Amino acid sequence: EVQSPLTLTDVEHFVSEYVKHNGRNFTKSRKNTWEFLLPQSLKDVPKLEKRYSNLTFDRRQAIRHSELEFMALGHPFVNAAIQHCGSVDFKGVATCRTIEDINLRGTKGLHCNFVVKLSRSTTNSELVYFQMVPVFVEQDGIINEEAAKVALFKQSKDDAQLSRRLDLNLLTLYELARDAVTKKYEGSDIWEEDFLCLNVAMVEFC
C-alpha cells in the first residue's frame, strides 16, 4: 500500500499548474470532472493517453462513478509529470527563479525539493509514504522554512541573469539543505537511497 501526506487537492493543483504551464487548457465539465490534452512535453512518454477526460481527484466520486478516471499519486500521467519536473528538459535541475513576495523581498538563496521514502509496519502490511520536503538555504547558510513553502507553491519568472547577480556557493548550500533533511528524520530507519532531490533552483525574492 502506498500513501502520501500530499492531499488530493495538492495533486489536483499540481496537475492543473503543470498542464497550463505547458500550454494546454485544464477544463472543468458540467459533470464536475476535468479534461485536458496531453502536453507536448510528455508526448514521447509511453502508455500516456493523448486526451484525458472524465477525470476526478475526488476518491469518493470515483468510487460512486466507475466510469470516471481517478487521478492521484501513482497515476501514469502524474508520475510522468513529476519526473519531467525534475529533469533537465524542464530546467528543474539548476534553474534561476525570481519570485514576487513582499514579506520575503530581498531574500536570496538555494531552493531544493527532496522526496523522502518512509515506511511503517502494521500487523498485516507495510505502509510506504513518499513525503515532499522543500528546503530553502539563504546565501549565508540560514535555513528559511517560510521561503521554502513560498518557493514550492508560488509562480515565478525565469531569470537567466540571476546566476551572475548572485554569488552562491551552490555545493555548500546544497549540502546544508541535505543535512537539514537528514536531521529532520534523525532517528528514523532511513537509508541513503531513501532521499531523492527532485530539483534545485537559485531564487531571489523581489
pLDDT, tens digit, 9 for 90 and up, residues 10-54 = 889 889 989 998 899 999 998 899 999 999 999 999 999 999 999
Q: Is residue 185 part of a domain?
A: yes
- Domain match, 194 and 113 both: yes
Please say if the pLDDT value at position 59 is more than 80. Answer: yes
Range of the domain at 184: 95-205
Provide the CATH number for the domain around residue 80: 3.30.360.80
Between CA 29 and CA 12 the distance in angstroms is: 15
What residue spans of 22-144 are helical by DSSP H?
A: 59-64, 76-85
Of 57, 85, 113, the residue at which a domain comes to its end is: 85
Q: Looking at residue 86, what is its pLDDT?
A: 61
Q: Are residues 172 and 126 in the same domain?
A: yes
> Does residue 104 share a domain with residue 76?
no
Position 84 confidence tier, pLDDT thresholds 50, 70, 90: confident
Last residue of a domain, one of 35, 53, 85: 85
Query: Do 138 and 200 belong together in one domain?
Result: yes
Question: Domain for residue 90, yes or no?
Answer: no
Half-sphere exposure of 119 (CA within 13 A, CB side): 9
Buried b (16+ CB within 10 A) or exposed e, 170-182: eeebbebbbebbe
56 and 116, same domain (yes or no): no
Do 29 and 102 fall within a single domain?
no
Residue 4 predicted with pLDDT over 60? no
201 and 107 within one domain: yes
CA distance 107 to 149: 14
157-163 contacts, C-beta under 8 A, 24 or more apart: 157/97, 157/98, 157/99, 158/91, 158/95, 158/96, 158/97, 159/96, 159/97, 159/98, 159/204, 160/96, 161/96, 162/96, 162/97, 162/98, 162/202, 162/204, 163/96, 163/202
Please provide the size of the chain in residues. 206
Domains identified in the chain, total number: 2
pTM over 0.85: no
For residue range 116-160, what is the model confidence (pLDDT) as tens digits?
A: 888 777 777 777 777 888 999 999 999 999 999 999 888 887 666
